[in-house]
Each structure stands twice: as C-alpha cells, then as structure tokens.
Amino acid sequence: MPTVRVQADTLDDENRRFAQMPLRQPVFLNSVPKSGSHLLRNILRMFVPVEQQYGRDFIQWANLPQHRAAFDPTRPMLSWGHLFLADASAIETAPARRILLYRDPYDWVIARARFFISEQFAGNMDHLKSGALTADELLTMMIFGLPAKAPSLRDIYEMNAAAWLGARVHVVTYEDMVRHVGALDTPDADAFFGALLDACGIERPGDWRERIRVGSDRKQSGTARENLTGIGIELPDTLGPRHRALVDYQAPGLRALLGYD
C-alpha cells in the first residue's frame, strides 16, 4: 500500500483555544484525492471538539469495513476520506451529513503528478522519480493512469465525484474554497462558509473567521504544494492545450458536469 509521509500538525492544540459545541450528527468529508482534502478537513476541525474527530485514517473503499464507527449516529464524529459511490458506501455513510469536494480536472492532473514524484509519497510508483520521464509524459500518465498501479482520471472522477452528484451531498469546489479563504471579510465568503457549516449541522460561532484563518494555515498541511519536497521534474503551473484536449478525450463531458465548462 502507498504511504504518505507528512509532519504532524498542531491543530488539536489550536482547536482547544476555541469554545467547541458537540457535533450532533456524523459528518463525512469525501473528496477526490489531491483536491484540497487537508484544507477542508483542517478548516472544519476548528469547529468540532477534538474528541469527535475521527483521525484514524482516510476512509476508502478498501478499509471501509474497519471504519464503520465513524458513521455511528449515537457517537457523532467528523471523518474524512476518498470514498467512491457504491452500495456499501452509500449505506454506511447514510447517517452522516456528506460533503463532496473536488477540483477542476485540468488542475488536478498537475497536482497529482506533483504529489506522486514528491518525497512525501512512497509506493509502487517510485520509478516515476527516476528522472527518465519528461513532464509531458508524466502528465499524460496522470490522465490515462498506470495499469495495476494508478487509476485513470476518468475512473477516479467517475466514482469519487460524478456518481456522488446523484446522491445526498453538499458540493464544495477547491477553487471556491481557496477564493473565499483569501477574502473572509466579503459577503460571498460569509455566504459560502455559512452554507458549508449549515450543511455540516454546525452552528456558526461569532469567531468563525479566526477559526478558518487558523485551520487554513498552509504550514499546517503537509501536502500543500509548497510543503512537498524532492520534486525533480519541472511541472507547469497550468495544463497546456494538448493535455487539456487529452483530458477532454479521456473523460468527455466531465468538466461540464462538474460545473467547469
């Protein structure tokens, strides 16, 4: 199994600076991997008692049976993961308020590539860090996947995002979240975070902006772009026309469905 090596954050200590109200219903933060999962999780951790944060693991299909307790309505917890939609996942998470997070597939390709070749990621794809690949080749592999090693963009987005749009979820996009984190004093940010907290069943406290500032501190996220190390391939900041066309070929209609086109 791949492993992720990140430095522990100090957000549990930061959490205790604020008065916390008990969570009344389980909340599950479900996301497409490399879509700002840590940012969303860390923000909402500032609104939930540490004792009600289910921090054992990122919940996924393979380990779902070991983490059913995260969705127990008699012991509400805030949990997070990358869980695709299927019969068991829909049933097990039914007691929870579900938040669905994703990002523009064009930008996701670059974020995935950067993470796979960083020192923070270790698994059966370490050969990608050898320096033998060009940036274009690596980005292409992020779109089409690697046989028996990494699923394609379409496979990930189909089951981790698109399918959940037909279920009971509150959608958050990475782009909206980042924009509003950077402009907390605006009416749009007020509406965005008010809707997010309401979807989680969390009453918004008067100091909500300060909590978000603390939780969104990028130094607290081991997988934030600037905290990834050992990247030996220079990747573009934005996906070029050829690879955008490859994304559209590999997953036609996806960006329109997600609201990006």
Cα(187)–Cα(13) distance, integer angstroms: 30
Task: For residue 195, give every residue at least 6 positions away whose Cβ sits within 8 Å of its Cβ, in sequence order, or none.
Answer: 170
Question: Could you give the percent of the chain with pLDDT greater than 70?
Answer: 98
Rounded average pLDDT over 46-60: 94
Task: For residue 148, give every residue at least 6 positions away whose Cβ sits within 8 Å of its Cβ, in sequence order, or none.
Answer: none
pLDDT of residue 119: 87
pLDDT of 126 strictly over 90: no
Q: What is the mean pLDDT of the chain?
A: 94
What confidence tier does 2 reach under pLDDT thresholds 50, 70, 90? Answer: low
Rounded average pLDDT over 47-54: 97
Question: Could you give the percent of the chain with pLDDT greater than 90?
Answer: 84
* C-alpha dist (Å) from residue 148 to 61, 151, 250: 17, 8, 18
SS3 of 80, please?
strand
Rounded average pLDDT over 146-170: 96
Cα(173)–Cα(100) distance, integer angstroms: 8
Q: Show me where the domains of the chain are located.
A: 8-258
Structural tokens at position 133: 């690949």
For residue 73, the one-letter residue type is: P
Of residues 56 and 182, more confidently modeled? 182
pLDDT of residue 214: 97
Of residues 123 and 180, more confidently modeled? 180
Unique residue bearing structure tokens 């070991």: 66
CATH topology for the 8-258 domain: Rossmann fold (3.40.50)
What are the φ and ψ backbone dihedral angles of 31, each rounded to 5 degrees? Answer: -150, 155
pLDDT of residue 228: 87
pLDDT of residue 209: 98
pLDDT of 132 strictly over 80: yes
Phi-psi label, residue 145: left if phi above 0, alpha if psi -120 to 50, beta otherwise:
left
Q: Give the angle 178-159-139 at the CA atoms, nearest 5°.
A: 65
Rounded average pLDDT over 229-247: 94
Cα(45)–Cα(200) distance, integer angstroms: 12
Q: Are 216 and 43 in contact (CB under 8 A)?
A: yes
Q: What is the pLDDT of residues 154-164, one digit of tens each?
A: 999 999 999 99
The residues that bridge with 47 in the sheet, in sequence order, are none
Radius of gyration of the chain (CA): 18
